[in-house]
């Protein structure tokens, strides 16, 4: 048990207490951020004359050695230390001796952990953004390929009106675009440096907090030292943004699961993204889509957990806040994994154009267009609705689609029908007549795809 704070204690910590309290098991993943923050801190301390340049150089060299050794595996982060901060400081002192004890001048683990978590989260926000961007690129490619792939659009999961697959995918393009914009809002708002807040009340050393902030690529130093060590809003915002992302992925997964069934057969998942059954030889299951849908609950859970953890905390730091880490790490890992797998899954699935188009035809999705046809010939809409409703009933009896009725049958329902009804209700006409902005018609879709193209071009993440 290696601790930083033995001085005022007369007894060893109980082993169970020590284990319960320790965070090294999970906060070790922030070793690089902890070291980066320490390097910035001592660089600032030397600039302010709190440390000499020689002391700074020795400490920085020691810290860089620790980083290199952890990275190469030569130095293991073990549970003999309470947390990652103790691990780095203790190892520094082991390596460079007395001068290492000056690292923690004008700093507390409270502002240190606030910094580490922000540095870690900021990188993860960037990675999440890249993954959503890759997903958008795949959706964009599919949209370009399926501008003319007619499918039924649904309401209440009942066939409603004909659309195209590109149009359906375009809805998800908008959702994931908004997800990226939420990530960039979070990044902008969180990008303030808490270091220098000390335990809660700042320090008596002449720290240059703006300088530290600049070294660590923050926009500025945080404004209030109490808030600096007790704010976890940005994690809650991120969990909320990830929950929304997962909700989008989950809805999309649900559709893929439905489309991949033997009943729909709109898509077929690639063998590489499906799994078999141990007993039923015919099965090819959409496990990845189901897992994405299932894991959504986990990310929502993390959001609710952290909100609940924070709700009763008096200012400033409380140990409860250590609970933020496992929740956020797990939610980030989960969301990143789901984004990557989902992108691979839809990028490799087969889209069955004819099945989609036949389904649109078979489901009377052109019934509104048949009624609109009558309206253009002077029949009031309500009457047209009734006439076409009766024709649909006839089709159901005959087990055929509106396109299959003879002109005679049409004219029995209304004398207004003429031979041009067939063209008016063809799937192609039904889709392409819908030309308002955001509609599935080819020209409208081409405009949307061009806009998406420009968006992808102008918002490329830096790799």
Residues at the contact surface with ligand ARG, assessed by CB under 6 A: 23, 27, 83, 109-110, 113, 317, 319, 321-322, 325
Q: Which residues pair with 350 in a beta bridge?
A: 268
Q: Which residue is nearest to ligand ARG (CB)?
A: 322
d(CA 231, CA 233): 6
133 or 329: CB nearest ligand ARG: 329
Measured at the CA of 192, the angle between CA 189 and CA 193, to 5 degrees, comes to 155
Q: In angstroms, give the least distance from the CB of 199 to ligand ARG.
A: 7
Total Cβ atoms within 10 A of residue 437: 8
Closest listed residue to residue 246, CA positions, set 333, 344, 325, 306: 333
37 or 152: CB nearest ligand ARG: 37
Report the chain's terminal Cα–Cα distance, integer Å: 41
Q: In b/e form, how buried is each residue of 126-163, taking b as 16+ CB within 10 angstroms?
A: eebbbbbbbbbebbbebbeebbebbbbbbeeeebbbbb
114 or 444: CB nearest ligand ARG: 114
> Out of 72, 156, 278, 458, which one is annotated catalytic?
156
d(CA 232, CA 223): 15
> Out of 79, 181, 184, 277, which one is annotated catalytic?
277
40 or 113: CB nearest ligand ARG: 113
d(CA 102, CA 194): 20
328 or 374: CB nearest ligand ARG: 328
Q: In angstroms, give the least distance from the CB of 37 to ligand ARG.
A: 13
Q: In angstroms, give the least distance from the CB of 32 to ligand ARG.
A: 16
d(CA 99, CA 203): 20
Q: In angstroms, give the least distance from the CB of 5 to ligand ARG.
A: 9
81 or 165: CB nearest ligand ARG: 81
Q: In angstroms, give the least distance from the CB of 321 to ligand ARG.
A: 5
For the chain, the C-alpha Rg in angstroms (whole number) is 31
Give one word for 221, left, alpha or beta, with left for phi > 0 and alpha for psi -120 to 50. Answer: beta
Known catalytic residue at 156 = yes
d(CA 244, CA 175): 9
**The two three-digit tokens of residue 67, written as one number:** 């980083």
Closest listed residue to residue 161, CA positions, set 351, 354, 359, 353: 359
d(CA 187, CA 123): 10
Q: In angstroms, give the least distance from the CB of 25 to ligand ARG.
A: 11
Q: In angstroms, give the least distance from the CB of 116 to ligand ARG.
A: 9
82 or 255: CB nearest ligand ARG: 82
Known catalytic residue at 225 = no
Known catalytic residues are 156, 277
């Amino acid at each position: 048990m290696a601790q930083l704070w033995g001085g005022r204690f007369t007894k060893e910590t109980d082993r169970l207490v020590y284990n319960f309290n320790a965070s090294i098991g999970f906060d070790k993943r922030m070793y690089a951020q902890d070291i980066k923050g320490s390097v910035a801190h001592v660089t600032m301390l030397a600039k302010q004359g709190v440390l000499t340049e020689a002391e700074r150089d020795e400490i920085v060299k020691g810290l860089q050695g620790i980083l290199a050794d952890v990275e190469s595996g030569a130095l293991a982060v073990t549970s003999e230390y309470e947390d990652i901060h103790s691990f780095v400081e203790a190892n520094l002192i082991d390596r460079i001796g007395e001068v290492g004890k000056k690292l923690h001048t004008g700093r507390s683990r409270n502002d240190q952990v606030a910094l580490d978590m922000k540095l870690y989260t900021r990188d993860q926000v960037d990675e999440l953004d890249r993954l959503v961007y890759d997903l958008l690129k795949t959706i964009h490619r599919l949209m370009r390929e399926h501008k003319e792939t007619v499918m039924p659009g649904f309401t209440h999961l009942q066939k409603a009106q004909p659309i195209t697959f590109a149009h359906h995918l375009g809805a998800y393009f908008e959702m994931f675009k908004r997800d990226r914009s939420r990530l960039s809002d979070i990044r902008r708002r969180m990008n303030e440096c808490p270091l220098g807040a000390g335990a809660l009340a700042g320090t008596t050393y002449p720290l240059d907090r703006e300088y530290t902030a600049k070294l660590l690529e923050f926009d500025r130093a945080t404004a209030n030292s109490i808030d600096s060590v007790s704010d976890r809003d940005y994690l809650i915002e991120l969990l909320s943004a990830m929950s929304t992302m997962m909700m989008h992925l989950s809805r999309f997964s649900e559709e893929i699961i439905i489309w991949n069934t033997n009943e729909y057969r709109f898509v077929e998942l690639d063998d590489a993204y499906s799994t078999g059954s141990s007993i039923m030889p015919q099965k090819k299951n959409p496990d990845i889509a189901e897992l994405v849908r299932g894991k959504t609950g986990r990310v929502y859970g993390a959001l609710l957990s952290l909100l609940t953890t924070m709700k009763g905390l008096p200012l400033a730091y409380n140990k409860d806040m250590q609970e933020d880490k496992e929740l956020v790490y797990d939610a980030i890992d989960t969301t990143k994994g789901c984004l990557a797998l989902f992108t691979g899954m839809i990028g490799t699935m087969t889209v069955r154009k004819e099945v989609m188009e036949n389904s649109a035809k078979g489901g009377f999705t052109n019934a509104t267009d048949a009624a609109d046809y009558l309206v253009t010939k002077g029949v009031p809409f309500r009457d047209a609705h009734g006439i076409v409703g009766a024709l649909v009933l006839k089709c159901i009896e005959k087990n055929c689609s509106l396109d299959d009725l003879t002109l005679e049958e049409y004219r029995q329902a209304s004398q207004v029908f003429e031979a041009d009804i067939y063209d008016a209700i063809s799937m192609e006409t039904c889709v392409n007549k819908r030309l308002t902005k955001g509609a599935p018609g080819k020209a409208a879709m081409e405009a949307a795809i061009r806009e998406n193209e420009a968006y992808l071009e102008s918002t490329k993440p830096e790799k």
